[in-house]
Every structure is written in structure tokens, then in C-alpha cells.
Amino acid sequence: MKKTRFDFASEIAWCPGCGNFLLLQLLKESLEELDIKPTDLVISSGIGQAAKMPQYVNTSFFNGLHGRGLSVASAIKMANPNLLVIAEGGDGDMYGEGGNHFIHNIRRNPNVVHLVHNNMVYGLTQGQASPTSPKGFKTPIQTEGVILEPFNPLSVAISLGAPFVARTFVGNAELTKSLIKQAIQYNGYALIDIFDPCVSFNKINTFAWYKANTYVLDENYDSSDKMQAMAKAFESEPFPLGILYKREDHKPTIEEQHPAYADDKRPLYERTRTAEELAHLME
């Protein structure tokens, strides 16, 4: 493994063989290769095995309530637009408990990177179905199999106007690093749905299964074509990997549009208020 400034000596609470180890390393390498300073980065997460990842990165992080990682990331970016802000967590955390925040943060278009570890199962709570679990998937809770259609995060994101929507598989290290770096360099909300196998509680969607049931989009694929991207988002087995949709013209972010930054570009934390100004605001 490559050494990076983001390495952090800590006991990692993941099962041997978990895809999270790969993603953790690929994220750190991507940050290093882009020469991001640890002091210029904040990672926000909620609850879950995936959401533990910021604790293993040498940088600032916020680890909060289940499903709130993205909303907190948006708030951090609003308070200090100069920071690189990454929201990360699992499919249950981000699409289940955090589903409402997922929808409305897309509408706001904060300039944050959103990394979702999608293993199609809840890992921390030991194996019940998640929003992305396939129909028929049997768990200790859904003993007869999942009866619901899986949530499709890519089609939802594209339909709501997300300007950067991608999917990868941690087993494809080169593609994963490339997408992470492109998302970091993109000015606007950037979603990467990441197939990231859970080796303990999902014996169906394994590394071998994802390898056999995915393909990388052709280099001639036009990611600026929104309707084509929507069609790709509905493909499954095999699932397309790469940037499904990337808006070429700039979509203004919420930080760029907010009145707080109209006449003063200083981060909010640098500003002070006098007692008189506060009294006026309270009136």
C-alpha cells in the first residue's frame, strides 16, 4: 500500500476482506495524488460500518446521527466554502435513514463529494435488507426474501438535477480512484455510488458477483446526455460503471447563490457580530 499523509494508526473495526479497506486506501491515495492537505479536508458521516471510515483518516471529521452525514456536510461547506467536504456512508445510512436529506441536498447542490458504500445490506446491524437489496434477497429479518423493488439512487439523482452522477466497484481500483478525483475537482454536488461488498452478511453480492455483473462505460459514451444517462441508470445485471451523467455547463451551488456570500466572501466562522447587530437581528 502507498503511504500517504492521510494514514492514521488505529484499530479498524471491519471484518477481514471487507470492501471498505480497499475504498479507504483508494480515497487516501486519491487525496494524496491531488495534493490535498489534511487541514483543508473535512469528512462527514452518520452511523454504520461504512460511516466509521472518517475515523481512520488523518483529517478533521464529523461522525453524527444516522442518515445525517450529507446534511452536516452541506452545513460545513456553507460555513467554510474553502474546505473540501466529503460526505460518506453506507446505502442504508445514506439512502434509507438519510433518504430525505439525499433528495433535498441534490436540490440545493452543495459543492460536496458524496461517497456511498453500496453493499446492498445493513452491515452494522448484522444483515437485514437495505434500500438497495435486490428483490428476493433473504436475510435473518426478511426470511422469505425481500418483497420490495430496490431503491435506484442514480435515477433519483439524475431526475432531481444532480450535476455529477457516477458508479464504481471497489474491485476496479483504477476506475474508483479516477472517479473520486474527478468528483473532488468538480464544482457542485458529486455522487459516486460504490459497489463495496460486505463479506459477512451478503453472500450473494460478492466481489466475484460484482465483477461478473458490471461493465465499464465505453470511452465514447456521452455523459452529458441526460436522457441517455437515465436509461443507463435503469440498467442492471450488468450495471454500468463510470460517470453516467456530468453536466457540462456550471450549475450554481447553494454557497454561490446564498445571500450570506453576496457581498462578503469570508467564511462564516471568520465573521463577528456586535451586540447592536445581534439586537437588531432579534427584533
Instruction: Tell me the CATH number at 177.
Output: 3.40.50.970
pLDDT tens, residue by residue, 61-74 = 999 988 899 999 99
53 is a domain residue: yes
pLDDT at 8 (0 to 100): 87
Q: What is the pTM assigned to this prediction?
A: 0.94
179 is a domain residue: yes
8 is a domain residue: no
Calculate the alpha carbon distances from 74 to 25, 42, 45, 91 in Å: 24, 11, 12, 19
Residue 117's beta-bridge partner residues?
90, 194
6 is a domain residue: no
Work out how many domains the chain is built from and give that number: 1
Cell of 192: 459516486
pLDDT at 167 (0 to 100): 98
Q: Is the pLDDT assigned to residue 1 strictly greater than 80?
A: no
- CA nearest 15: which of 54, 47, 49? 49
> How many percent of the chain have pLDDT more than 70?
100
pLDDT tens, residue by residue, 148-199 = 999 999 999 999 999 999 999 999 999 999 999 999 999 999 999 999 999 9
91 is a domain residue: yes
Query: Domain limits at 163?
Result: 19-282
127 is a domain residue: yes
The mean pLDDT of 227-245, rounded to a whole number, is 97
